[in-house]
Chains A and B, each alone.
Chain A
Amino acid sequence: MMAFLTRRKSLLVAASAALALSLSACGGSSSTTNPPVAEKPSFAADSTMAKLSSAGKITIGTKFDQPLFGQKGLDGKPVGFDVEIGKLIAAKLGISADKIEWVETVSANREQFIKQGKVDIIVATYTINDKRKTEVDFAGPYYEAGQALMVNKDNNSIKKPEDVKGKNVCSVTGSTPASTIVEKYGAVLVPAATYSACLEPLRNKQVEAITTDNVILAGFVNKEPEAFKLASDETFTKEPYGIGLKKDDKVFRGWINDQLEAFDKDGSYKKAWEATAGAVIKTAPKLPAINRY
C-alpha cells in the first residue's frame, strides 16, 4: 500500500513538473512590467478619474484569448500589450496592477459591457469605427493594426486578399474583418465565436484562411510556427485600436489621450510593446496621431 502510494505521488509530481515545463515554454514570449503607480494624483471633483482614483480600483475589459495582446494564463492574470496599456492608465490613476479587475470582453459584447457599466474602460484590440462611436467613446488610437490572412504553412496559393474569392475564410461573427473579407473580396465566411475557434477548421483544411488583424494572427503564428504562417506581411486595411469608454465622458477621454501621449514621450509605451508583442513583431510601432473629437 505504502509503495503504491509513493509511486502514485511521484507520478503526480512528474506530471505536474512536465505540465509546468510545457506551460512556461509557451508562456515565455510575453512578460509583464510594473509601471510606477502615481501617488495621490488629484483630479477635478466629479470626474471619472477622481471617482476611480478614490475608489482605488478599476475594472478593465480585455480579451483573454488574444496572444500578445490580452491572454489569460493559468495563473488567472492576463498578459499582453493591451493589458500593459491598461496597467499604465491605472497607474496614472494611482491604482496598482493588483487592484485592477480584469473582465473578459469579446467582439460581440464590448459595447454592452461599457453601457451597462460592467467595465470602466476596454482595451481589447478594439477597432475605432463610426458605428461603434455612436455607442461608446474611444480614446486613442494607441496602435494601428491592419487586416491580414493566416494560412497553413504548406499553403502557397494565397498571397493577397483577392486570392480568397469564393473560398472559405474563418473569422469572428460580426467583426470588422469578417465584413471586409466578404463584402470587398467575396470570400465565403465561416463564422466562429472566437478567433481561437477558427484554428481547428484551418488545421483540418476546411477553411483556406483565417482573417483578422495582423497582430492577432501573429500571436497564433508565434504559438505554432510549424503549423501556420501569415499569407503576406502586407496588411490590406487600417484598424486603429482605441480604448473604449462610456459615451460622452469627454473629460475622461481627453485625460486618457493625454496619458497616451505622455507614455509615448517617457518611453513606457515602447517598453510595454517590447515586453509583449515586440517578441514577435520586431518593429516597434509609433503611437498613431491621437484622434480628439
Chain B
Amino acid sequence: MDVIIESLPQYWDGFLRTLFLAVVSGIFALIFGTLLAAARVSPIAALRGFSMAYVEVVRNTPLTIAFFFAAVVLPRLGVTFQQFEVAAIIALSAYTSAFIAEAVRSGVNSVPVGQAEAARSIGMKFSQVLSLIILPQAVRTVIPPLINILIALVKNSSVAGAFYVLELFGYGKQLANDHGDAVMWVLVGVAFFYLLITVPLGYLANVVERKVAIAR
C-alpha cells in the first residue's frame, strides 16, 4: 500500500500522459471517424470504397500493429519525430477512428430516410443534408456507444507503454521492477488511476444520454 503513496509523483506523471494521449487521440479520432462515416454514406463511390476498406482493415487488425507501424515503420520511411507520443497519438487515433466511423454510420442509418428526402426536396446539398439534418440526429443516438469507444481508447492507450512512451502503464512496469516486493499494489495503483478517467467518462455517458433522450 505504501508503495502507491510513495510513488504518487510517478503515478501522477503517468496519469497526465495517459490523459493527454486519450484526450488528443480522442479528438482526432472523433473528427477523422466522423469524416470516414460521412465518406461511407456519400454519393461518391471512390470515397465510399476508401472508407469501407480503411474501416475493414484497421478494425480487424490488432492495435499493436498500428503502433508498430506508427513507431517503427513510419520512421523508417523518413517520418521521424523526437517525441514518441506522436506515434502513440497517430496509432490510437487511426485505430479508434475506424470504430467511431462504424458507430456514427449506424447512427446515420437509424435516421429515417424521409429526413434526408425532405431535406433534399427543399434544395439542400449533400453536405448540408449531412451536417444540418442527419448527423445531429445520428450522433445523439450513438452517444452511448461513442463513449464506450472512448473508454476503450483510454485503456488501449496502455499499449503505448510498450512503444517507448512513459505513460501510466509504462510507469507501472517501471515501478513493478523497482518494487519487486509489492507488484500487486503497484498494479492496483495503476488500475485506480485508469478508473479515475474511465468511471467519470461512463458517468458522463449516462448524463448525456438522459439529456439527449429528452431532446428527442
Tell me, in angstroms, the Cα distance from A206 to B73 when the chains sit together. 13
Given contacts A173-B170, A174-B173, contact A131 B82 (CB under 8 A): no
Q: Is the CB of A191 within 8 A of B170?
A: yes
Q: Does B2 contact A (CB under 8 A)?
A: no
Q: Does A189 contact B (CB under 8 A)?
A: yes
Q: Is the CB of A190 within 8 A of B173?
A: no
Q: Does B128 contact A (CB under 8 A)?
A: no
Q: Ordered nearest first, which 4 A-B pairs have the shortest CB separation?
A: A174-B177, A111-B180, A204-B75, A174-B174
Tell me, in angstroms, the Cα distance from A226 to B82 when the chains sit together. 24
Q: Does B166 contact A (CB under 8 A)?
A: yes
Q: Does A134 contact B (CB under 8 A)?
A: yes
Closest to A189 in B: B166
Chain B residues within 8 Å of A190, by CB: 84, 164
Q: Is the CB of A107 within 8 A of B177?
A: yes
Tell me, in angstroms, the Cα distance from A175 to B176 when the chains sit together. 11
Q: How far is the CB of B154 from chain A (nearest CB, A)?
A: 20
Chain B residues within 8 Å of A174, by CB: 173-178
Q: Does A108 contact B (CB under 8 A)?
A: yes
Chain A contact residues, CB within 8 Å of chain B: 107-108, 111-112, 115, 131-132, 134-135, 168, 170, 173-175, 189-193, 200-201, 204-206
Q: How big is chain B's contact interface, by range?
A: 20 to 34
Tell me, in angstroms, the Cα distance from A205 to B178 when the chains sit together. 29
Tell me, in angstroms, the Cα distance from A23 to B177 when the chains sit together. 34
Given contacts A108-B176, A173-B173, contact A204 B76 (CB under 8 A): yes
Q: Does B118 contact A (CB under 8 A)?
A: no
Q: Is the CB of B80 within 8 A of A204?
A: yes
Q: Does B132 contact A (CB under 8 A)?
A: no
Chain A residues within 8 Å of B82, by CB: 168, 206
* Further pairs besides A132-B180, A135-B180, A204-B80: 20, Cβ < 8 Å: A108-B173, A108-B176, A108-B177, A112-B180, A134-B181, A168-B82, A173-B173, A173-B174, A174-B174, A174-B175, A174-B177, A189-B166, A191-B161, A191-B165, A191-B174, A200-B75, A201-B75, A204-B75, A205-B80, A206-B75
Tell me, in angstroms, the Cα distance from A193 to B166 when the chains sit together. 11
Chain A residues within 8 Å of B181, by CB: 134-135
Q: Can you list 14 residue pairs at the A/B interface with Cβ under 8 Å?
A: A107-B177, A112-B183, A131-B178, A132-B180, A134-B181, A135-B180, A173-B177, A174-B178, A190-B164, A193-B162, A200-B76, A204-B80, A205-B80, A206-B82
B 162-202 to A, binary, CB cutoff 8 A, 1 in contact else 0:
10111000100111111011010000000000000000000
